Structure 1
């Protein structure tokens, strides 16, 4: 069967849809079926038209168009902004501070008094729950001072007269801080609003970075931090100013002006490291402190120490080297990257400068005297100080604690301590013996030496208190709490330098734990 036979076409006589015809009757019938609905819709629209026509639209006043403009103002940039973390809400108890009355009548009887303020007591302004368990970084955070932790060799009490002097000195520093956060060597008197005569004692303007570092160290040594404490605002503002003065490429704090700029850098770097120790969650501060430490390393002479040049030119001196060791030790405590070779080079230089027969360490020659500017030698004889011996002693103490293979330094340290006892702190009205730089280093070195022989510290402590406490200014108001800068370096750092240095001296009782004789396996 072929295809034609199998599939026959189907024929249909129905009309296709488009061929259908519609008669008039069909259309009329369809329209009439819809008519009721059309009528109803027409009636509703007609009624709505009459209602709308009856409303008095002209009586309604037009409301003025309201235009809302919004300007987005970015919040002020916080130089210490950190990554957002869930905040823990803590209940903070209100602390009522006891008003301390200051007096300028300080006698030997008060100095020798056995009445002391317990640092662990709740009412003590030095109370805190943190303490650096390495070589120091005093206090921790939280309102002043702190408990001594793992290395419990230091004192836990301070005498009331020392307490008063510390608070007065810190208040003076607080009230003479500039609005931009620094301490201005020569402009600080203009910051005082206590009334009356403005204080004098201006320093040189190129030392602002250095004295700002010293002032910060005084507040940090008291136990406050960037996070909390009575002087938290002053610390945060001061650190922020230092960060603004740091070269982001090299890490240098300040400008490389003059031959002493490395002094300022090392002191400011020490302050940044101590600030970071109490604020380790701050990545910006960590980066700045590490860069400052790296700059210190780049400034050291190969196999030896430091002086005034970057890059180094082979010259070294004990004074700059001491500040560098201080800063590096603080960096190590803060868990920053530090090279052991920097400490080895410093110790090699100190050994070279120390006369092993006498224990005296020189400035640039073995067993020599401390440094003096030539035009100030007559007014402030360098025979009246043992500053370099004190610097070398403290370097030895810290380096011995840090390096695992350094031989015991006790024998040469004892000789150095005997040298310091021959030239103890003594205040003179003409300033000829007032080497506050020496008193600062000597106090910290001799405090450590009490674990070797108690008489070293006992003798120094009594002389230090007698030199410092009665000579703190208590009037006029703008001077109150400060010390006159009438020593060999007062013309450079001014009243900010002298006051910060004396506060640091008085913080020796709790600023550093005792490390001499407490060495651990590294």
Structure 2
């Protein structure tokens, strides 16, 4: 669609300019790289330490636009970032450190980046990607999905499971073996936390709204349908179709009631917008046809047009305190890349 490629190009330019000299990206420290694109520095410091996850998310933006370590205008940026991720891998395959409570989020994002690199022909990444996939698989609960611990001590949560499935789908596309039980476990988890009457997907229990923490308790949890969007995308990635699984349409109806428009008081939930965009694009008409113009207004028109922040997005919504400008920009870039990143699962036109 008109303007999408240009917006992605501006975003990649900004993300590349804020890469650290060691190849990584940081939600908290990206401001130290400001001044390359324009005067001043960018506001929007995020949480720390999320460098592995931020680097994985940033790399997915470049890989999704075809920039492998050996091809594309930003190949050197991609190569440095992937090399940094490999250097963070431990002997057990984890990318990052268990010292961080959220290490499975970060590992899943980094694993997806390595797998997409392999998928674009970077064979040198295959062995570390396989180790990363093996660690991810080891973190699934035998009767469920993924959460914070490895080995798993709880059945799962929908948010981490969404990122885990994304990584496993990338692994499968790269020819890396993924056991059927893992994908079946993810499908069972989404089914377990789906409220059958409404179609709402919960975090730990059926029908729950998105989780909140002390940092974002002011944001109404009902302002979006982030977990329902995660559930819909996971179902589509695993091959479910509305004809045989009609709850997919219930998911889509719920999501469609929360279009991606900027709220004057609360902004918008960029995490929700990313997942909803990918899921509804996969599902196609009529849900995508209603969502897409609102997305374009909020996202393409909302991209910063001047100064050192040109090409980025302000961090808004409930998770802005963690994502900051860097990961918010990555999420919005990935949302725009959903227009062409993956083939539609349902063959929609």
Q: What band does the TM-score fall into relative to the shorter chain?
A: over 0.9
1:328 aligns with 2:162: no
Alignment of 1:484-503 (within 5 A): 484-503=314-333
Aligned CA distance change for structure 1 residues 224 and 409 (closer, same or farther; 3 Å): farther
1:383 corresponds, among 219, 222, 236, to 222
1:424 corresponds, among 235, 238, 259, to 259
Q: How high is the TM-score relative to the length of structure 1?
A: 0.64
RMSD: 1.6
**Does the Cα contact within 8 Å between 2:195 and 2:207 map onto a contact in 1?**
yes
Structure 1 match to 2:299: 468
Structure 2 match to 1:482: 312
- Structure with greater Cα Rg: 1
Aligned-pair CA distance for 1:400: 2.1
Aligned-pair CA distance for 1:279: 1.6
Count, aligned residues: 347
2:137 corresponds, among 283, 297, 304, to 297
Structure 1 Cα separation of the partners of residues 279 and 262 of structure 2: 20
**Does the Cα contact within 8 Å between 1:400 and 1:408 map onto a contact in 2?**
no
Structure 2 Cα separation of the partners of residues 226 and 515 of structure 1: 27
**Does the Cα contact within 8 Å between 1:353 and 1:365 map onto a contact in 2?**
yes
1:392 aligns with 2:254: no
Unaligned runs of 5+ in 1: 1-157
Structure 1 match to 2:15: 173
**Does the Cα contact within 8 Å between 1:165 and 1:469 map onto a contact in 2?**
yes
Aligned CA distance change for structure 1 residues 407 and 201 (closer, same or farther; 3 Å): closer
Aligned-pair CA distance for 1:420: 0.5
Structure 2 Cα separation of the partners of residues 352 and 498 of structure 1: 30
**Does the Cα contact within 8 Å between 2:24 and 2:51 map onto a contact in 1?**
yes
Structure 1 Cα separation of the partners of residues 232 and 11 of structure 2: 27
Structure 1 match to 2:276: 442
Aligned-pair CA distance for 1:195: 4.4
Structure 2 Cα separation of the partners of residues 196 and 512 of structure 1: 37
Query: Could you list the per-position Cα deviations for residues 370-400 of structure 1 after superposition, in whole angstroms to 9, with x for gaps in the alignment?
Result: 112134121x211101000000011111112
**Does the Cα contact within 8 Å between 2:215 and 2:321 map onto a contact in 1?**
no
Aligned-pair CA distance for 1:298: 0.7
**Greater RCO (CA < 8 Å, at least 6 residues apart):** 2
Aligned-pair CA distance for 1:410: 3.9
**Does the Cα contact within 8 Å between 1:427 and 1:468 map onto a contact in 2?**
no
2:39 corresponds, among 187, 193, 196, to 196
Structure 1 Cα separation of the partners of residues 137 and 99 of structure 2: 19
Aligned-pair CA distance for 1:190: 1.6
**Does the Cα contact within 8 Å between 2:230 and 2:275 map onto a contact in 1?**
yes
Query: Could you list the per-position Cα deviations for residues 118-147 of structure 1 after superposition, in whole angstroms to 9, with x for gaps in the alignment?
Result: xxxxxxxxxxxxxxxxxxxxxxxxxxxxxx
Aligned-pair CA distance for 1:354: 0.4
Structure 1 Cα separation of the partners of residues 18 and 169 of structure 2: 29
Which runs of structure 1 show a deviation greater than 6 angstroms over 4 or more consecutive aligned residues? none
Query: Could you list the per-position Cα deviations for residues 83-125 of structure 1 after superposition, in whole angstroms to 9, with x for gaps in the alignment?
Result: xxxxxxxxxxxxxxxxxxxxxxxxxxxxxxxxxxxxxxxxxxx
Aligned-pair CA distance for 1:446: 0.2
Aligned-pair CA distance for 1:433: 4.1
1:413 aligns with 2:248: yes
Structure 1 Cα separation of the partners of residues 103 and 63 of structure 2: 23
Structure 2 Cα separation of the partners of residues 240 and 317 of structure 1: 30
Aligned CA distance change for structure 1 residues 330 and 376 (closer, same or farther; 3 Å): same
**Does the Cα contact within 8 Å between 1:396 and 1:409 map onto a contact in 2?**
no
Structure 2 Cα separation of the partners of residues 220 and 281 of structure 1: 14
Structure 2 match to 1:268: 110
- Aligned to 2:128, the other structure's residue is in SS state helix
- Aligned to 1:237, the other structure's residue is in SS state helix
Alignment of 1:93-492 (within 5 A): 158-159=1-2, 161-192=3-34, 193-247=36-90, 249-282=91-124, 285-378=125-218, 380-400=219-239, 409-430=244-265, 432-450=266-284, 454-475=285-306, 477-492=307-322
Aligned CA distance change for structure 1 residues 300 and 480 (closer, same or farther; 3 Å): same
Structure 2 Cα separation of the partners of residues 427 and 298 of structure 1: 40
Structure 2 Cα separation of the partners of residues 309 and 496 of structure 1: 26
Aligned CA distance change for structure 1 residues 469 and 327 (closer, same or farther; 3 Å): same
Aligned-pair CA distance for 1:514: 1.0
Aligned-pair CA distance for 1:429: 4.9
Structure 2 Cα separation of the partners of residues 409 and 517 of structure 1: 16
**Does the Cα contact within 8 Å between 2:239 and 2:345 map onto a contact in 1?**
no
**Does the Cα contact within 8 Å between 2:267 and 2:316 map onto a contact in 1?**
no
Structure 2 Cα separation of the partners of residues 407 and 498 of structure 1: 31
